[in-house]
Amino acid sequence: MRRRGPQVDCTTTIGTVVLPNPVMTASGTAGHGAELSAYLELSELGAVVVKSLSAEPWPGNPPPRLKPVAGGMLNSVGLQGPGIAAWLADHLPALEAAGARVVVSIWGRRVDDYARVAARLAAASGAIVAVEINVSCPNLDDGREMFARSPAATAEVVEAAGAAGLPRWVKLSPGTANLVEVATAAVGAGAAALTLVNTLPALAIRTDLRRGAIGGGGGGLSGPALHAVALRAVADVSEALPAVPIIGVGGVMSGIGAVEFLLAGAAAVEVGTATLLDPHAPARVLAELRGWCVANGVTRVAELIGGARG
């Protein structure tokens, strides 16, 4: 008879959304749809967060778009995407067929863009469990400042995305001095959860060319170098808003990184750059998280959440 190892209850709850485990993909690092199903069972992840989608197709930024740097990488993909209508027709069916719980990330350059893309989701499939609102892009209604640097602009976007009729997870930037204030505004406007963090604005220089190494100019820092920054963001927001579910993102390369986010106050994590290095990474992180729980006598992952809070 095959003996089963100790069981760990990995269930986690993000507002009204119950996930079988807390490990998800991070937007923009796992393809547009079911691409990763060649490497892992998408239905076995907590959820699949897809690349941010806009109301219309968008070409993104000029190459080069990626640059390895110490402890991570910079990217400036510039939110290239097929637009929500094409995505619903061409990519969602494969995710549904794979049994994935889908989180649709949305973005826009104006508040109205978010309202339009959200409205398209209102009639979409039951496989979509939440919308993740990426507010880390420039607000053209208000000059070129990032939405996520302004509590008022963030609140406007969160309200506009209510048109989706789905739980709203709001993804914030670590590149702001008033993160707790922005997070509080997002929750006041209807956010069911906060995703912390997007990439950190950064720059790499090509000394041979005497100019920036990325086509779009600056880029966003991700990977191990971002992890401690993201942990701090999760801990600060979780202390200020203890009742609000948080999803930790930034430099989760292994199960330990996931455990750290949970202890800092996150209810779930997303795996990004690690997946670009190894497409099995989200499944491996989940297996390692389970293994850590077994080794440490933890029977319910949820009991770790906020464990490091003072």
Catalytic center residues: 137
Q: How far is the CB of 77 from ligand FMN (least distance, A)?
A: 5
198 binds ligand FMN (CB under 6 A): yes
Element holding 255 (H helix, E strand): helix 255-264
Candidates 50, 73, 48; CA nearest to 200 is 73
Two tokens, residue 154:
């963030």
Tell me which residue of 17, 23, 44 sits closest to 98, measured CA to CA. 44
Q: Contact at 8 Å (CB) between 169 and 247?
A: yes
28 contacts ligand FMN (rule: CB under 6 A): yes
Q: Which is closer to ligand FMN, CB of 229 or CB of 294? A: 229
**Residue 272 engages ligand FMN in binding (rule: CB under 6 A):** yes
Q: Does 12 bind ligand FMN (CB under 6 A)?
A: no
Q: Does 173 interact with ligand FMN (rule: CB under 6 A)?
A: no
Rg (CA), the chain: 18
Supply φ then ψ for residue 141, to 5 degrees: -70, -15
Number of residues that bind ligand FMN (CB under 6 A): 24
Sign of CA dihedral 79, 191, 23, 239: positive
Name the residue nearer to ligand FMN (CB basis): 12 or 273: 273
Indicate the residue among 93 and 224 with the shorter CB distance to ligand FMN.
224
Note whether 174 and 229 are within 8 A (CB).
yes
One of 187, 249, 262, 293 touching ligand FMN (CB under 6 A): 249
Taking CB under 6 A as the rule, does residue 251 contact ligand FMN?
A: yes
Q: Does 283 bind ligand FMN (CB under 6 A)?
A: no
Q: Residue written as tokens 């202890």?
A: 263
CB closer to ligand FMN out of 173 and 298: 173
Closest CA to 36 of 284, 219, 290: 284
Segment interacting with ligand FMN, rule: CB under 6 A, options 110-118, 145-153, 203-211, 269-277: 269-277
Task: List contacts with ligand FMN (CB under 6 A).
Answer: 26-29, 51-52, 75, 77, 79, 105, 134, 171, 198-199, 222-223, 226, 249-252, 271-273
